[in-house]
Chain A
Amino acid sequence: MAEMNMLQAINSALRIAMEQDPSMLVFGEDVGHFGGVFRATSGLQEAFGKARCFNTPLTEQGIAGFANGLASNGTTAVAEIQFADYIFPAFDQIVNESAKFRYRSGNEFNVGGLVYRTPYGGGIAGGHYHSQSPEAYFTQTPGLKVVVPRNAHQAKGLLLASIRDKNPVVFFEPKRLYRASVGEVPEGDYELPLGKAELVKEGKDITLLAWGAQMEIVEKAAEMAEKEGISCEIIDLRTLSPWDVDTVAESVKKTGRLLINHEAPLTGGFAGEIAATIQEECFLYLESPIARVCGLDTPYPLIHEKEYMPDALKTFEAIKASVNF
């Protein structure tokens, strides 16, 4: 074990995967000698050479198309999109190509050895284009896996699993935790399972569900609620597609209440999918309406970032409203 921040943990995962798989390539804008604008790929070019870790021209659709081509020919491809806000030029390559490669060819071809890594989320005064959480655009696309870690330990284990998974994965990294989240991380190789939520804390009055950087927020809100005698069960969804219905449903059947928190706007957000499914699975167990604490249905604002965010106070209020329904 060593103390690492999330960037160091990601870097360690990439290093281990590249050592183990000589075909693996890491590429994107500024990921080469410079090591990435957040330094996640720091030192990889020095360790593995310019042919395996390199800069691409500044074109997201090109990066994604190139990645599809590599993976279709059996090369492991880890592509970086500098900010999730800039993944949209690559949307066609990801949604129409990566996601459908195996299905449309009858498994003659696949791009299973492909991961798109991208920093996402607000809280860094990033305004419209350095704050977005576009995960719900991708969860609507069969064929993709969507993964979001909450801390350094999770980031390394989930990234290693994503790289080795036989399906294309969009891996969202909560950038406000890159350096803020520091913890004990095994130095060696380990994986955390995809498609499996994690029960972070047991409780009996309400289930709180989130992912990524918002896990901190719901944990803080839970502490506030506990002081008022409300016992919260906390789940980190970790994989949004395919998501772990059973773990969430089991918890809600026990607590009778569910609150889902995400930074992305409310309308069309992934919380809607979870709420509808849990309502179907747990109809007879629910004691209050499922609560969604999310971003507003606005572009991500700069000066009103604090007001926009589904923070711990908003979550705390929603917990009380649910319990007192």
Chain B
Amino acid sequence: MSNASTNQETVHKVSFLDRESLHIPILKILQADGTPYEEAVLPQIDEALAKRIYDACVFTRVLDERMLGAQRQGRISFYMTCTGEEAAILGSAAALDDKDVILAQYREHAALRYRGFTTEQFMNQMFSNEKDLGKGRQMPIHYGTAALHYQTISSPLGTQIPQATGVGYSLKMKGERNVAICYFGEGAASEGDFHAGMNMAAVLKSPVIFFCRNNGYAISTPTEEQFAGNGIASRGVGYGMHTIRVDGNDMLAVLAATQQARAYALEHNAPVLIEAMTYRLGAHSTSDDPSGYRSKEEEAKWREHDPVKRFKLWLINKGWLAEADDEAMYERYREEVLAAVKVAEKIPAPRIDEIIEDVYDEPTPLLKKQLESLKAHVKKYPQAYPKTAGRL
């Protein structure tokens, strides 16, 4: 039936719709002091789950603080922090089954930690050493691991969005009770791949949770220069998709929304869009200085909405965390991360032979020839290639 999906209501006077025509409320469960709103319906969460989430919160805070420092000292080439967005990432990751496939952008390493990525694995990737699962080929923070169902990050923005639609469809066809979750920022949502992936997921009925971190900025570009509509959520409705907007600094709101999104996606074989309103407290990356495009006052205001602090207050109210234990946890992770840095930076780079592996499933004859020629050259000028010359 052609155009059966559009409604048939008619009017007889010109009447335009505008961005305010669509009312999109924001889900909030926790108040600033860590107590739930009176009418709030809490997500499913017990002490073990709460502690697993909080542990990843603290680890991520410590990792970000330490690795920012390590980059400043020139020990790693690049870094990006998750600071301010921990609740958006962990509240959603904690609502998933550990076999749900994660397709992330690059600011979601908290979710990877939640899944069980070890401190050493983080370090090996950032230091591009021979123990890195990615064999030292990609920039720092481009993590990925098949064992934890976390697809490898790539830099081009938005490309993972239609891919998530494909992963969801594949899971459905295999009859697995799992979904794909796709993280992206509000800037990436301006890419054509956002449109392609969202529309295809709705039409092809793919069980995917599209999770947008709307943190106010894409590098230096504020949202008013990114879109003129009612955020990203308004678009979900336009694609015929179940959609919700949540307070991204509210761990329990994100958890509640994602738990129900997952149940809906599985039951209906359909995608869901979650827009989490949050704020990027740190710089875009170590190559960026936010003082050039936003005020200290604005940052300070958002620091008062620290998602980790709000969740911590809730845990303390519940009697699941004591202040002293919290401090001890931070201290333990600071030591662990620092020790792991020292170990990882001493592990050598992958052998030069790795440079031609995995381009194809088997190196081609031409690649083998190019490697032999490269090795002969390195042997001739070993001082110019210190990372590999000693290990030929």
Q: Is B203 in the interface zone, CB < 8 Å from A?
A: yes
A108 to B132 alpha-carbon distance, docked (Å): 11
The contact string, 1 if C-beta is below 8 Å from chain A, for chain B 125-164, is: 0000000111101100010111000011010100101111
Residues of chain A with a CB closer than 8 A to B193's CB: 61-62, 65, 92-93
**B360 and A62 contacting across the interface, CB-CB below 8 Å:** no
- Interface set, chain A 96-120, CB cutoff 8 A to B: 96-97, 100-110, 112
**A65 and B162 contacting across the interface, CB-CB below 8 Å:** yes
Across the interface, A103 reaches (CB within 8 A) one of B137, B199, B203, B364, namely B137
**B170 and A97 contacting across the interface, CB-CB below 8 Å:** no
- Interface set, chain A 1-57, CB cutoff 8 A to B: 23, 25, 51-52, 54, 56-57
A132 to B180 alpha-carbon distance, docked (Å): 37
Across the interface, A68 reaches (CB within 8 A) one of B144, B166, B360, B361, namely B166
Smallest CB-CB separation from B202: which chain A residue? Answer: A57
**A57 and B170 contacting across the interface, CB-CB below 8 Å:** no
**A106 and B361 contacting across the interface, CB-CB below 8 Å:** no
A34 to B142 alpha-carbon distance, docked (Å): 42
**A106 and B358 contacting across the interface, CB-CB below 8 Å:** yes
Smallest CB-CB separation from A96: which chain B residue? Answer: B156
Q: Is B192 in the interface zone, CB < 8 Å from A?
A: yes
A207 to B317 alpha-carbon distance, docked (Å): 83
Residues of chain B with a CB closer than 8 A to A246's CB: 365
**B154 and A75 contacting across the interface, CB-CB below 8 Å:** no
Residues of chain A with a CB closer than 8 A to B204's CB: 54, 56, 66
A53 smallest CB distance to B (angstroms): 12
Across the interface, B133 reaches (CB within 8 A) one of A54, A102, A108, namely A108
Q: Is A140 in the interface zone, CB < 8 Å from B?
A: no
Smallest CB-CB separation from B354: which chain A residue? Answer: A106
Number of A-B contacts (CB under 8 A): 158
Residues of chain B with a CB closer than 8 A to A92's CB: 156, 159, 193
**B192 and A73 contacting across the interface, CB-CB below 8 Å:** no
**A77 and B166 contacting across the interface, CB-CB below 8 Å:** yes
A69-B166, A69-B167, A70-B170 in contact; A106/B134 too (CB < 8 A)? yes
Smallest CB-CB separation from A77: which chain B residue? Answer: B166
The contact string, 1 if C-beta is below 8 Å from chain A, for chain B 175-204, is: 000001000000000001101110110011
A59-B195, A89-B192 in contact; A242/B366 too (CB < 8 A)? yes
The contact string, 1 if C-beta is below 8 Å from chain B, for chain A 212-254, is: 0000000000000000000000000000001001100000000
A57-B199, A242-B364 in contact; A73/B145 too (CB < 8 A)? no
The contact string, 1 if C-beta is below 8 Å from chain B, for chain A 53-89, is: 0101101011011111111111101000000000001
Q: Is B277 in the interface zone, CB < 8 Å from A?
A: no
**B167 and A100 contacting across the interface, CB-CB below 8 Å:** no
B149 smallest CB distance to A (angstroms): 10
Across the interface, B170 reaches (CB within 8 A) one of A69, A103, A104, A142, namely A69
Q: Is A261 in the interface zone, CB < 8 Å from B?
A: no
- With an 8 Å Cβ cutoff, the count of chain B residues facing the other chain is 48
Q: Is B165 in the interface zone, CB < 8 Å from A?
A: yes
A96-B156, A108-B152, A110-B361 in contact; A57/B162 too (CB < 8 A)? no
**B156 and A109 contacting across the interface, CB-CB below 8 Å:** no
A90 smallest CB distance to B (angstroms): 9
Across the interface, A66 reaches (CB within 8 A) one of B133, B151, B152, B166, namely B166
A102 to B356 alpha-carbon distance, docked (Å): 12
Q: Is A306 in the interface zone, CB < 8 Å from B?
A: no
The contact string, 1 if C-beta is below 8 Å from chain A, for chain B 93-113, is: 000000001010000000000
**A167 and B144 contacting across the interface, CB-CB below 8 Å:** no
A226 smallest CB distance to B (angstroms): 33
Q: Is B311 in the interface zone, CB < 8 Å from A?
A: no
**A103 and B196 contacting across the interface, CB-CB below 8 Å:** no
A315 smallest CB distance to B (angstroms): 28
Q: Is A195 in the interface zone, CB < 8 Å from B?
A: yes
B235 smallest CB distance to A (angstroms): 15
**B159 and A73 contacting across the interface, CB-CB below 8 Å:** no
**A65 and B361 contacting across the interface, CB-CB below 8 Å:** no
Q: Is B169 in the interface zone, CB < 8 Å from A?
A: yes
Q: Is A166 in the interface zone, CB < 8 Å from B?
A: yes
A59-B200, A73-B166 in contact; A143/B137 too (CB < 8 A)? no
B359 smallest CB distance to A (angstroms): 5
**B162 and A66 contacting across the interface, CB-CB below 8 Å:** yes
Residues of chain A with a CB closer than 8 A to B151's CB: 72, 105, 109
A153 to B186 alpha-carbon distance, docked (Å): 49
Q: Is B14 in the interface zone, CB < 8 Å from A?
A: no
**B163 and A166 contacting across the interface, CB-CB below 8 Å:** no
- Interface set, chain B 344-391, CB cutoff 8 A to A: 357-361, 364-366
A74-B170, A75-B170, A108-B145 in contact; A97/B192 too (CB < 8 A)? no
Across the interface, A104 reaches (CB within 8 A) one of B152, B163, B200, namely B152
**B133 and A70 contacting across the interface, CB-CB below 8 Å:** no
A263 to B95 alpha-carbon distance, docked (Å): 54
**A96 and B159 contacting across the interface, CB-CB below 8 Å:** yes
Residues of chain A with a CB closer than 8 A to B360's CB: 102, 143, 145, 166-167, 242
B385 smallest CB distance to A (angstroms): 21
Q: Is B11 in the interface zone, CB < 8 Å from A?
A: no
Residues of chain B with a CB closer than 8 A to A167's CB: 360-361
**A112 and B163 contacting across the interface, CB-CB below 8 Å:** no
A106-B132, A245-B366 in contact; A73/B146 too (CB < 8 A)? no
Across the interface, A51 reaches (CB within 8 A) one of B144, B167, B173, namely B173
Residues of chain B with a CB closer than 8 A to A105's CB: 133-134, 144, 151-152
**B134 and A69 contacting across the interface, CB-CB below 8 Å:** no
**Which residues on A are within 8 Å of B, measured CB to CB?**
23, 25, 51-52, 54, 56-57, 59, 61-62, 64-75, 77, 89, 92-93, 96-97, 100-110, 112, 142-143, 145, 166-167, 195, 242, 245-246
11 more contacts with CB within 8 A, not counting A59-B195, A108-B152, are: A61-B162, A62-B199, A65-B159, A66-B197, A75-B166, A89-B192, A93-B193, A102-B359, A104-B154, A109-B144, A242-B360
**Which residues on B are within 8 Å of A, measured CB to CB?**
101, 103, 132-135, 137-138, 142, 144-146, 151-152, 154, 156, 159, 161-171, 173-174, 180, 192-193, 195-197, 199-200, 203-204, 357-361, 364-366
| 6 CB-based A-B contacts, threshold 8 Å | A56-B203, A75-B174, A92-B156, A92-B193, A93-B162, A143-B359
